[in-house]
């Protein structure tokens, strides 16, 4: 099992009040090269317990990423119950295009 740090996020939509993470940039916690993967893959691996995913907060603490289903029905990921006020995944920059 590998722990992956989420380094960037790509989102769907243009409405800043209602956007969903669709892809994330990840790299192993121990370092190494990163890659961009679809959020569907991250959700599956969390569910199966294959890998752990986390972000790092402003104080440098690991924050676990979990599966989340929006009230609109879209399946995505987030850190806390309110990912907008905790300033975690919601403030990650977009992943660079290949």
Establish if 98 belongs to a structural domain. Answer: no
Cα–Cα nearest to 21, from 67, 81, 85: 67
Show the tokens assigned to 50.
């294959």
pLDDT digits (tens, 9 = 90+) for 38-81: 999 999 999 999 899 999 887 888 889 999 998 889 999 988 75
Identify each DSSP E strand in 1-98 by its residue range. 2-12, 20-28, 35-38, 51-56, 62-64, 66-69, 75-78
Q: What pTM value is reported for the model?
A: 0.86
Say how many domains are in the chain: 1
The residue range of the domain holding 78 is 2-91
Whether residue 97 is contained in a domain is answered as no
Asked if the structure places residue 8 within a domain, the reply is: yes
Give the pLDDT band (50/70/90) at residue 19: confident
CA dihedral 81, 97, 73, 83 (to 10 degrees): 10
């Amino acid at each position: 099992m590998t722990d992956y740090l989420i380094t960037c996020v790509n989102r769907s939509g243009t409405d800043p009040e209602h956007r969903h993470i669709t892809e994330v940039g990840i790299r192993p916690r121990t370092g190494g090269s990163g890659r961009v993967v679809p959020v569907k893959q991250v959700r599956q691996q969390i569910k199966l317990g294959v890998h752990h995913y986390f972000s790092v907060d402003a104080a440098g603490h690991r924050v676990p990423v979990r599966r989340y289903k929006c009230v609109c029905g879209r399946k995505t990921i987030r850190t806390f119950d309110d990912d907008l006020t905790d300033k975690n995944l919601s403030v990650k920059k977009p992943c660079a295009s290949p």
